[in-house]
Amino acid sequence: MAGVGNVLRGDDGVGIRALELLQSRMGVRDNLRFYESGIAGVGLVQQLLDGYDALIILDAVDRNAAPGTVFVIEPTVERGAGAATIDLHLADPGAALRMADALGVRPERVWIIGCQIEECDELGAELSPTVAKALPEVVRRTHALVDTLLSHTRQNDVQH
């Protein structure tokens, strides 16, 4: 599970805040790692070099929806996308996933749990009240997805 964003830029920090809450509530579990990516997607790609079955990215999104709307997105990345499309700053999860795909380390299952931003232009700002109010929903949906993934993993382990 990776938290993406910048906590010093208002709503852009929602992914990091959600990751912190999830880590404190879920604690240490087998087959689950928490990673704070910040805004540098290269670090996330380096983390993926360790090999993972699934990846959940927590991030702020701008999908022209009402602020605070929570989305569960299964991104599609064209397999074998050309290296010319890769930006080494990797400021968005899509770019990091393209690089992970190019390196052959992109997990088979990937989700982005995103929260529609209201404001992320003011340096030093906290989460907007609307996005802060949506944070429990981000945490709830992520926790449910993790529980489903871990349950599915345990069932497969028992069958094999």
Strands of 2-4's sheet in order across? 35-38, 2-4, 54-61, 109-116, 70-73
80-112 per-position pLDDT tens digit:
544 444 443 345 788 888 889 999 999 999 999
Measuring CA to CA, which residue among 57, 71, 52 is closest to residue 19?
57
Average pLDDT estimate for 9-35: 92
Average pLDDT estimate for 15-27: 94
pLDDT at 79 over 70: no
Q: Which domain holds residue 104?
A: 2-159
Query: What pLDDT does 110 receive?
Result: 95
% residues pLDDT > 70 (the chain): 84
% residues pLDDT > 90 (the chain): 61
Confidence grade of residue 56 (pLDDT, cut at 50, 70, 90): very high
pTM of the model: 0.86
Please tell me the least confidently modeled range out of 16-20, 78-82, 149-153: 78-82
CA-to-CA distance for 109 and 143, rounded, in angstroms? 16
Which helix (DSSP H) or strand (DSSP E) does residue 61 occupy? strand 54-61
CA-to-CA distance for 150 and 160, rounded, in angstroms? 15
Report the CATH number at residue 110. Answer: 3.40.50.1450
Instruction: Pull the structure tokens for residue 111.
Output: 């989700």
Confidence grade of residue 77 (pLDDT, cut at 50, 70, 90): low
pLDDT at 135 over 80: yes
Q: What's the number of domains the chain is made of?
A: 1
Note the helical H segments in 6-128: 14-26, 41-48, 93-102
pLDDT at 39 over 90: no
